[in-house]
Homo-oligomer: A and B are copies of this chain.
Amino acid sequence: MNALPDPSPPVSGLVPEVRRKLLEAAARLLSEEGPSALSARRLAREASTSTMAVYTQFGGMPALVREVVAEGFARLRERLATVEHTDDALADLVQLCRAYRENALEHPNLYTVMFGGTSLGGYRLSRADMDVGTDTFTALADALDRVMGAGLIRRENSRHVAGQCWSALHGYIMLEIAGIYRAEDGTTELVLDPLLSRLLAVPITMGP
């Protein structure tokens, strides 16, 4: 009934391409169709394999989701790393916040799973996952350290201030993803900008 097996299976040891294809399909389905599209059978179809591959390669759907989330964290870290350090530390911080928000709005489903606590088929963040996620936090703290070092904002515990900025950004972005705030209503200028500006006691513009 089925087509003949793939004529060229270059095994080549290290990373099974079945694993790669499953992860790729999972990331794409989550991004394009949302969490409900993430099913073992659907993944198997998309990756041209059987559901068993999910179990031999990952051990189950929750473990697969965990890897997708880990990749999401990695992509976020890389994205934040693209923000270069210029001589204007405050501008760098703003760019960091922009990159964070852009990444979240470009992959909203993934973002809510990463930070929103969306239970995806019984999967919840483990402490290890959260530790990975919190180096977002350290990126913010480092940027704040430089801003404080330049005397551009009040000097204090950068980790605490980073926690405040993260809370504010995260909260605004989650409400934005939920559809309560919409950039076309001007909420970016009316809510987000004043929020961060007041928090750091310095004018900030997140819009383009």
Q: Indicate whether A16 reaches chain B with its CB closer than 8 angstroms.
A: no
Interface residues in A119-144 (C-beta closer than 8 Å to B): 119, 121-122, 125, 127, 130, 133-134
Which residues of B are found within 8 Å of A203, using beta-carbon distances? none
A177 to B117, CA, bound (A): 8
Interface residues in A144-199 (C-beta closer than 8 Å to B): 157, 160-161, 163-164, 166-175, 177-181, 187, 190-192, 194-195, 198-199
A171 to B170, CA, bound (A): 5
A contacts, CB < 8 Å to B:
34-36, 112, 115-119, 121-122, 125, 127, 130, 133-134, 157, 160-161, 163-164, 166-175, 177-181, 187, 190-192, 194-195, 198-199, 201
- Given contacts A167-B172, A199-B199, 8 further A-B pairs with CB under 8 A are A115-B174, A116-B118, A125-B179, A160-B190, A161-B194, A167-B171, A167-B195, A170-B171
| 15 residue pairs from A and B, CB less than 8 Å apart | A35-B119, A112-B116, A116-B116, A116-B178, A125-B178, A127-B179, A130-B178, A134-B180, A160-B190, A164-B191, A167-B175, A168-B168, A168-B195, A170-B174, A171-B174
Q: Number of copies of this chain in the oligomer?
A: 2
Which residues of B are found within 8 Å of A181, using beta-carbon distances? 163, 167
